Amino acid sequence: MGLKEGLLCLLVKEDAHGYQLKSELEATTGDTWQINIGQVYTTLQRLERDGLVESTESNGDGRVVYTVTETGREEATKWLTRPVDLAASGRDEISLKILMAMRSGVGDPRRVIEKQRGSTMGMLQDFTALKSDASNPDFAWQIYLDRLIFSAEAELRWLERVESRLEENPPTPIALEVNGPVEEMEEAR
Amino acid sequence: MMEPILSMRRVGKTHGEGAQRVDALVNVDLDLMPGELVAVTGRSGSGKTTLLNMAGALDIPTSGEIIVDGQSLASMSKNDLARLRRVSVGYVFQQFNLLPSLTAAENISLPLELDGMKPDEARILAENSLEEVGLGGMADRYPDQLSGGEQQRVAIARGLVGPRSVLLADEPTGALDEATGESILKLLRTRCDAGAAALMVTHEPAFAAWADRVVRLRDGRVESISERSKVPSTTADLG
């Protein structure tokens, strides 16, 4: 979710001015997102330019109140129901570290796995301790925690799988063919 | 400084000789402090159950030393070891191992009576122990009148009855569904927060995560240890 989508969705709910939108957005995300008020205003201006919202001067206090347009409403609905593409998140740092360890021989890939597992297990322990503390009934907090717990569990299972694969195919660092291109260059000379 | 209630120093266990030699445990160092829940993870055959059996004096190490309640197991007589198992260390297994012809309370009090305790006293200890695991009203039920989760609670009550403060648990959630398994971990956590200590073997990350420390065994060696750290208090800290 970008600021654009967040603002649009909140404006579908009700008309509001910039500062209200900032507070509401922060509350919705369980205060995990600290929003810059300047960015809120520049985004609202862009939404107005694109015909997704309209603005009116409010009653006397000088604040500008924003209203969503029909196009804006459609845009918000479209965004909400568009599935999040997991594969689109790009390069995965821990996969790359394991692969680089295998390829370069700089370190043992099993050591990379072991370190990652220790760190993720430690986080899973912390999340679990937080979950069992019933003193925080906030809904946003609970769904974030569940998400983090399931992600950590999935990563630990995945690391286990990678380790098995490594055992089946032990890594042999690949020697860089330093001679190849150099010889070719000399031949070319 | 607080002394560990259970301490393993350079503990090794070897099966067989020559080409058949298998190192089940290699130089394992592990301390269990009062009030601590420690999870032992690792794949099948990594040495988890061997480690637990050593801790409970059910098996003897080939090398190294194990100290329980300040006493080295190697220096203890058979009688001392039997006494240690009765008064210091309790066990919980994957299969709850309750005697079907005895009630919940009798399952807990029988070993105490065999140890010479008067039936009335044993009954009171058993009832208190059941109370602590949330089964106050079920003392006179038979195992087949209890759910799997309740039976495992009885087993935990039996493991921690009276003066016993160390619980050794081998896959205590193995025969239970996820939600019931979680309730057993909650219970172990509560009992440890109240001062008991538990060493628990599990292969489930989600269950190991209830522990203060998680030890991972690989080919009989301790490979890594993770600990619970400071606890963030708001979602902002998680971001």
A96 and A156 inside one domain: yes
- Report CB contact under 8 Å: A121, B214: yes
The string of pLDDT tens digits covering residues B209-236 is 999 999 999 999 998 788 887 554 444 4
Q: Is the pLDDT of residue A12 over 90?
A: yes
Identify the CATH number of the domain in which residue A17 sits: 1.10.10.10
A113 and A158 inside one domain: yes
The overall average pLDDT reported for chain A is 86
The SS3 of residue B226 is strand
Does A73 reside within a domain? yes
Does A184 reside within a domain? no
Query: Residue B57: what pLDDT?
Result: 87
For chain A, report the end-to-end CA distance as a whole number of angstroms: 55
Chain A: give the shortest CA distance to residue B216, in Å: 9
Does A124 reside within a domain? yes
Chain A: give the shortest CA distance to residue B114, in Å: 38
Helices and strands (H and E) in chain B: how many: 8, 10
Report the residue from B209, B212, B225 with minimal CB separation from A124.
Answer: B209
pLDDT-based confidence at residue A173 (cuts at 50, 70, 90): low
Alpha-carbon separation of residue A59 from A7, A17, B198 (angstroms): 22, 12, 66
Q: Are A40 and A18 in contact (CB under 8 A)?
A: yes
Q: Label residue B154 exposed, middle or buried (CB < 10 Å: 0-12, 13-18, 19+).
A: buried
Percentage with pLDDT > 90 across chain B:
51
φ, ψ dihedrals at A68, nearest 5°: -80, 145
A67 and A105 inside one domain: no
- Report CB contact under 8 Å: A117, B206: no
- Report CB contact under 8 Å: A32, B225: no
Q: Please choose, from the candidates B68, B53, B80, B58, the residue with its C-alpha nearest in 3D space to the C-alpha of residue B9.
A: B68
pLDDT under 50: residue ranges of chain B: 232-239
Query: Residue A174: what pLDDT?
Result: 62
CA distance B91 to B78: 18
Supply the ipTM of this predicted assembly: 0.82
Does A175 reside within a domain? no
A99 and A163 inside one domain: yes
Closest residue on chain A to B218 (Cα): A114
Q: What is the residue range of A44's domain?
A: 3-84
Q: Please choose, from the candidates A4, A34, A40, A42, the residue with its C-alpha nearest in 3D space to the C-alpha of residue A19.
A: A40
- Report CB contact under 8 Å: A148, B231: no
Least confident of A93-107, A168-182, B221-235: A168-182
CA distance B201 to B179: 18
Q: Please choose, from the candidates A160, A171, A159, A156, the residue with its C-alpha nearest in 3D space to the C-alpha of residue A99.
A: A171
pLDDT-based confidence at residue A177 (cuts at 50, 70, 90): low
- Report CB contact under 8 Å: B214, A125: yes
The size of the A-B interface in CB pairs under 8 A is: 81
Residues 6+ apart with CB under 8 A from B165: B5, B34, B88, B195, B196, B197
The SS3 of residue B168 is strand
Alpha-carbon separation of residue B137 from A91, A133, B49, B101 (angstroms): 56, 27, 34, 19
> Running DSSP on this structure, what letter comes out for residue B149?
H
The string of pLDDT tens digits covering residues A33-52 is 888 999 999 999 999 999 99
Report the residue from B186, B216, B226 with minimal CB separation from A125.
Answer: B226
Chain A: give the shortest CA distance to residue B229, in Å: 6
Q: List CB contacts (< 8 A) between B233 and chain A.
A: 136
The string of pLDDT tens digits covering residues A105-129 is 888 899 999 999 999 999 999 999 9
Q: Is the pLDDT of residue A184 over 60?
A: no
The string of pLDDT tens digits covering residues A136-162 is 677 888 888 899 999 999 999 999 999
Chain B: give the shortest CA distance to residue A51, in Å: 33
A31 and A76 inside one domain: yes
A95 and A160 inside one domain: yes
Q: List CB contacts (< 8 A) between A115 and chain B.
A: 224
Does A182 reside within a domain? no
Of the residues A49, A84, A119, the one at which a domain ends: A84
A71 and A26 inside one domain: yes
Q: Please choose, from the candidates A99, A15, A21, the residue with its C-alpha nearest in 3D space to the C-alpha of residue A53.
A: A15
CA distance A31 to A27: 6
Query: Residue B234: what pLDDT?
Result: 46
Percentage with pLDDT > 90 across chain A:
53
Query: Residue B11: what pLDDT?
Result: 96
Asked if the C-beta of B54 comes within 8 angstroms of chain A's C-beta atoms, the answer is: no
Q: List CB contacts (< 8 A) between B181 and chain A.
A: none
CA distance B110 to B112: 5
A118 and A55 inside one domain: no
Does A36 reside within a domain? yes
CA distance B155 to B180: 14
Q: How many domains does chain A have?
A: 2
A9 and A72 inside one domain: yes
Q: Where does chain B have alpha helices with state H?
A: 48-55, 78-87, 104-114, 119-132, 148-159, 178-193, 205-208, 235-238
Q: List CB contacts (< 8 A) between B234 and chain A.
A: 31, 141
A66 and A97 inside one domain: no
> Running DSSP on this structure, what letter comes out for residue A63?
P
Query: Residue B168: what pLDDT?
Result: 93
The overall average pLDDT reported for chain B is 88
CA distance B127 to B109: 9
Asked if the C-beta of B234 comes within 8 angstroms of chain A's C-beta atoms, the answer is: yes
